[in-house]
């Protein structure tokens, strides 16, 4: 009885002890690759609490901008430890995360999934406004539009530039109606794949009708690197494309449908 009474007394005393308040919520964090790009592009570094571990695979954009910033995983425990006031997300985290964060007073800014240049512009403006970075968003859009206009001027000066075959490490290519097709069109090229949407590399067609340009992306990052059995390394592909112009861009320029697409258009137009 005495032991039980003593334990009860200790519990009561512990409950009376003042607890240190949690640190206030402040700053912004991002929890996936595309959210990292948007946050690092729009918000000053001193406002960023953390970015995702996926930032480290974005060698051309996020890595140089995220030096010295903490990394986190898209899970509640990591986010709570960082104590951001706002979380930016695209696809990261599970379906419950939004509700869990809002219940803790953390605001969530959800990125869209642009399917066109116009979609990308609208999304950048919306997210910029939500993050208090509307002026920066407008500046990025102005730069993007300037690159598109310059590329179209270059393309209009020449004759038909022909077809561009989009090649990725996963052997996926695309035809009309995709965001990548719009990138190719802005630089004056027609997608080699005539069918809308996405599909595998058309090896037989490439032998009969080689493309005028090969447009490669995502070969720069270990995140997307495939083994040596990929069709993009096949000798048939090498023979079919050896006379074609070759352009390669960092995958980060096409991953997320934002202002970085303008860099890809500029490089394609210069081919």
Same-domain status, 143 and 90: no
Q: What is the pLDDT of residue 6?
A: 45
Within-domain flag for 250: yes
Q: How far is CA 233 from the centre of its chain?
A: 26
The pTM (predicted TM-score) of the whole model is 0.84
Q: Are 49 and 78 a contacting pair, CB within 8 Å?
A: no
Same-domain status, 261 and 172: yes
- 126-154, pLDDT tens digit by residue? 999 999 999 999 999 999 999 999 998 87
Q: Are 265 and 151 a contacting pair, CB within 8 Å?
A: yes
Q: What is the pLDDT of residue 249?
A: 95
Same-domain status, 171 and 258: yes
Which CATH number goes with the domain that contains 243? Answer: 3.40.50.1980
Lowest-confidence segment of 18-32, 59-73, 88-102, 231-245 by average pLDDT: 231-245
- 251-263, pLDDT tens digit by residue? 999 999 999 999 9
Within-domain flag for 180: yes
Same-domain status, 153 and 90: no
Q: How far is CA 246 from the centre of its chain?
A: 24
Tokens linked to 43: 């918000």
Same-domain status, 89 and 148: no
| 191-197-201 Cα angle (round to 5) | 65
Within-domain flag for 45: yes
pLDDT band at 10 (very low <50, low <70, confident <90, very high): very low
Taking the C-alpha atoms of residue 175 and residue 93, their distance in angstroms, rounded to an integer, is 31
Pairing label, strands 172-174, 198-200: antiparallel
Nearest residue to 220 (alpha-carbon basis) of 247, 252, 198, 242: 252
Domain span including residue 61:
28-111
The sheet with strand 163-167 has its strands ordered as 190-191, 163-167, 213-217, 245-249
Domain end (from 71, 94, 111): 111
User: What percentage of residues in the chain have a pLDDT greater than 70?
Assistant: 85
Q: What is the pLDDT of residue 7?
A: 41
Lowest-confidence segment of 5-19, 64-78, 157-171, 192-206 by average pLDDT: 5-19
The structural domain count of the chain equals: 2
- 21-72, pLDDT tens digit by residue? 567 889 999 999 999 999 999 999 999 999 999 999 998 899 999 999 999 9
Within-domain flag for 132: no
- Average pLDDT of span 12-26: 62
Pairing label, strands 86-89, 28-30: parallel
Same-domain status, 143 and 258: yes
Whether the per-residue pLDDT at 161 is higher than 80: the answer is yes
Tokens linked to 176: 């009309």
Q: How far is CA 270 from the centre of its chain?
A: 24
Q: What is the pLDDT of residue 121?
A: 98
């Amino acid at each position: 009885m005495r032991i039980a009474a003593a334990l009860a007394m200790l519990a009561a005393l512990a409950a009376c002890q003042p607890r240190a308040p949690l640190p206030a919520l402040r700053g912004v964090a991002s929890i996936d690759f595309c959210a990292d790009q948007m946050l690092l592009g729009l918000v000053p570094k001193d406002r960023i609490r953390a970015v995702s571990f996926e930032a480290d695979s974005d060698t051309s954009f996020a890595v140089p901008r995220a030096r010295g910033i903490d990394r986190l995983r898209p899970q509640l425990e990591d986010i709570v430890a960082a104590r951001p006031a706002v979380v930016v997300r695209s696809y990261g985290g599970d379906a419950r995360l939004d509700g869990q964060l809002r219940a803790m007073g953390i605001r969530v800014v959800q990125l869209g999934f642009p399917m066109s240049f116009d979609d990308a512009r609208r999304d950048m403006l919306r997210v910029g406004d939500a993050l208090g970075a509307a002026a920066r968003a407008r500046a990025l859009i102005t730069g993007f539009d300037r690159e598109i206009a310059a590329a179209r001027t270059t393309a209009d000066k020449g004759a038909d530039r022909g077809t561009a075959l989009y090649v990725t490490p996963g052997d996926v290519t695309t035809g009309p109606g995709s965001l990548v097709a719009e990138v190719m069109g802005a630089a004056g090229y027609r997608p080699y794949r005539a069918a809308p949407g996405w599909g595998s590399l058309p090896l037989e067609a490439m032998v009969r009708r080689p493309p005028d340009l090969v447009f490669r992306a995502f070969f720069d990052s270990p995140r997307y690197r495939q083994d040596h059995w990929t069709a993009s390394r096949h000798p048939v592909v090498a023979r079919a494309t050896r006379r074609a112009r070759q352009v390669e861009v960092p995958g980060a320029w096409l991953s997320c449908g934002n202002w970085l697409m303008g860099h890809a258009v500029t490089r394609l137009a210069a081919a």
